[in-house]
């Protein structure tokens, strides 16, 4: 697997677009790096940039951006709501694919060493890149901020990991490290009070607040037997939070870093802030994301809010995202565009979903054209997607049928399974065409020498094998959809029993159509052991599908009587 890391540098400039553009231009000048997102904030006077690529390319791009930021941003004149200590305040690396956290930490150290040596900027390592646990927390390192670092850096315990022990007046100091994916998330309040926002932040953040006698703000600090302040932890694990006032919007916010969204997901953090705000006489009016977010976070949020309504969670990906955005109020301050904010969408290769993104007329026209693709394999996959979609529709209708309220979870679970099968089959619509194109590309390889002939033959065989495996997967998924369709014919909304019938006809056709492609492609393979095995397994699937079709149509016809 290709190694990919993400880098999310935070630059202390959020107002001058010319400076921001010059910094991001440095990133875009590096081959092998994709700039995913640029998110400037006027009130925080800070820009969060997200890029992804190979480790070598990302490190080069980060270095160039840090250098340019150090040249253009004068920290002696910087003011903003967000804590900061340098022109490049923090530069984390996050493992994305094919690389461990330990390897990512090593790259962070290489970047830190280069920044310290070549740019003469003090560098502190944090999180996984920092061995000293006493100084691996970003907020602990940054305490005192830019103004306080002139004295702090002189303390022996705060000697930089790289670079001079001299805080730069112009560019400040910076923090570089390796960490897990972090979601920066702000919740909006109907107040302008920073103090009240902080009270909620202390309620929810894992670090909590210092315990006091009587008045929680002015009361005497409670200490333990050793004389150390007693801490009252907050309600959310893996959450850092502070309250601040944003003049640009005229509201106070709870600014949170969700450092492990598997422990505290986005929707749980939002709801907990809502609860604490209500307890303190305030209301949450919406929220905003800073930077990017994994797709799963929004899908989980959509399902969470649907479950609270006792509604089926087996709806499309787009609908789940829409529910999440509405429920979290992510569009209160600015439009939320999923294609620009969800990391998986930004990492998709252009044209990866060319066929399934067509409208019905365009897809039919493309199929009917003189081009050999999309062919029968892609059509079989699409027929299978339509079949399971009909079964999923019946499950959703049944989940919301009046009088069946006690069964909504049962049907919701089936609808969710149907959506997953539908999405997998839709992916194979384009994948089958790509597999066919790979065969054509292999046939076009040169064959002038014996070595070229060998490479060409191996390429053809490899592509043909893959073109056999794709329709076989269509067969497997289409057969897997049939028990769901059968369940809907037997137990689903009786008014939609014919939809289940049409669904099984589609599923059976998908299996048989895909098997034709398996057979013709397997016939061109020299690996006869593989060929005979996949043909035998395909025949078994076809027979099971035909038997299931007969059984389900029998149920449908009996219900219609």
Exposed/middle/buried for residue 281 (C-beta within 10 Å: 0-12, 13-18, 19+): exposed
Distance (Å, whole) CA 39 – CA 186: 14
Rg (CA), the chain: 29
Distance (Å, whole) CA 178 – CA 102: 9
Q: Is 82 marked active-site?
A: yes
Query: 146-182 burial string, b = 16+ CB within 10 Å, else e?
Result: beebeebbeeeebebbbbeeebbeebbbbbbbbbbbb
Closest C-alpha among 194, 153, 197 to residue 172: 153
Quickly list DSSP for 109-154: HHHHHHHHHHS---EEEEETT---GGG--HHHHHTTHHHHHHHHTT
CA distances in angstroms from 251 to 116, 254, 267, listed in the order given = 39, 10, 21
Q: Is 499 marked active-site?
A: no
Question: Could you say which DSSP state residue 228 is in?
Answer: P
Closest C-alpha among 124, 102, 103 to residue 113: 124
Distance (Å, whole) CA 207 – CA 199: 13
Q: Confirm if 109 and 177 have CB atoms less than 8 A apart.
A: no
Reported as type and span, the H/E element at residue 288 is: strand 284-290
Q: Which of 203, 430, 432, 499 is catalytic?
A: 432
Distance (Å, whole) CA 331 – CA 188: 11
- Around Cβ 280, how many Cβ atoms within 10 Å? 14
Closest C-alpha among 282, 87, 51, 284 to residue 185: 284
Residue 91: CB partners within 8 Å, gap ≥ 6?
Answer: 7, 8, 9, 10, 62, 66, 111, 174, 175, 176, 177
CA distances in angstroms from 470 to 141, 372, 461, 464, 481, listed in the order given = 52, 17, 14, 10, 17
Angle between helices 317-328 and 266-279 (to 10 degrees): 20
Reported as type and span, the H/E element at residue 521 is: helix 497-522
Residue 273: CB partners within 8 Å, gap ≥ 6?
Answer: 187, 200, 204, 254, 256, 284
CA distances in angstroms from 347 to 6, 48, 227, 343, 426, listed in the order given = 11, 18, 52, 6, 18
Q: Which of 82, 89, 161, 167 is catalytic?
A: 82
441 Cα distance to chain centroid: 33
Distance (Å, whole) CA 491 – CA 494: 8
- Beta-carbon-side half-sphere exposure of residue 15 (alpha carbons within 13 Å): 10
- Around Cβ 76, how many Cβ atoms within 10 Å? 11
Active site members: 82, 432
């Amino acid at each position: 697997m290709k190694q990919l890391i993400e880098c999310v540098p935070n630059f202390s400039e959020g107002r001058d677009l010319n400076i921001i553009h010059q910094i991001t231009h440095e990133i875009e000048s590096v081959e092998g790096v994709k700039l995913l997102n640029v998110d400037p904030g006027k009130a925080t006077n800070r820009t969060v940039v997200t890029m992804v690529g190979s480790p070598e390319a990302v490190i080069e791009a980060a270095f160039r951006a840090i250098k340019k930021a150090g040249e253009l941003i004068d920290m002696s004149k910087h003011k903003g709501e967000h804590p900061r200590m340098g022109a490049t305040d923090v530069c984390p690396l996050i493992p994305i694919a094919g690389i461990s956290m330990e390897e990512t930490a090593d790259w962070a150290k290489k970047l830190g060493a280069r920044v310290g040596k070549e740019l003469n900027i003090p560098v502190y390592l944090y999180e996984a890149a920092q061995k000293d646990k006493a100084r691996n927390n970003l907020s602990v390192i940054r305490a005192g901020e830019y103004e306080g670092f002139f004295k702090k850096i002189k303390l022996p315990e705060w000697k930089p990991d790289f670079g001079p022990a001299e805080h730069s007046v112009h560019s400040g100091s910076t923090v570089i490290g390796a960490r897990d994916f972090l979601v920066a998330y702000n919740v909006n309040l109907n107040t302008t009070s920073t103090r009240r926002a902080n009270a909620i932040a202390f309620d929810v953040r894992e670090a909590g607040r210092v315990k006091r006698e009587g008045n929680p703000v002015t009361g005497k600090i409670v200490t333990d037997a050793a004389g150390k302040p007693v801490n009252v932890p907050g309600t959310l694990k893996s959450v850092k939070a502070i309250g601040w006032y944003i003049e640009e919007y005229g509201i106070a916010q709870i600014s949170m870093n969700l450092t492990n969204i598997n422990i505290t997901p986005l929707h749980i953090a939002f709801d907990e802030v809502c609860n604490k705000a209500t307890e303190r006489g305030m209301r949450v009016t919406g929220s905003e994301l800073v930077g990017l977010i994994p797709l799963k976070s929004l899908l989980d949020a959509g399902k969470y809010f649907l479950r609270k309504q006792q509604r089926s969670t087996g709806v499309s990906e787009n609908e789940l995202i829409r529910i999440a955005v509405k429920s979290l109020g992510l569009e209160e301050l600015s439009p939320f565009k999923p294609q620009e904010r969800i990391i998986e969408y930004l990492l998709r290769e252009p044209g990866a979903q060319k066929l399934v993104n067509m409208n019905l007329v365009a897809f039919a026209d493309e199929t009917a054209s003189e081009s050999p693709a999309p062919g029968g394999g892609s059509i079989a996959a699409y027929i299978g997607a339509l079949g399971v979609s009909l079964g999923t529709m019946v499950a959703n209708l049944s989940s919301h049928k009046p009088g069946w309220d006690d069964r909504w979870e049962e049907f919701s679970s089936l609808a969710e399974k149907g959506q997953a099968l539908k999405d997998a089959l839709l992916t194979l619509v384009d994948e089958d065409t790509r597999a066919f194109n790979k065969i054509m590309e292999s046939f076009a390889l040169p064959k002038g020498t014996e070595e070229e002939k060998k490479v060409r033959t191996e390429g053809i065989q490899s592509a043909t094998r893959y073109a056999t495996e794709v329709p076989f997967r269509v067969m497997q998924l289409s057969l897997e959809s049939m028990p769901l369709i059968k369940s809907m014919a037997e137990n689903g909304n009786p008014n939609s029993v014919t939809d289940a019938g049409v669904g099984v006809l589609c599923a059976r056709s998908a299996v048989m159509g895909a098997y034709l492609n398996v057979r013709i492609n397997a016939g061109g393979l020299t690996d006869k052991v593989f060929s005979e095995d996949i043909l035998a397994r395909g025949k078994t699937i076809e027979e099971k599908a035909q038997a299931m079709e007969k059984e389900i149509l029998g149920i449908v016809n009996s219900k219609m009587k």
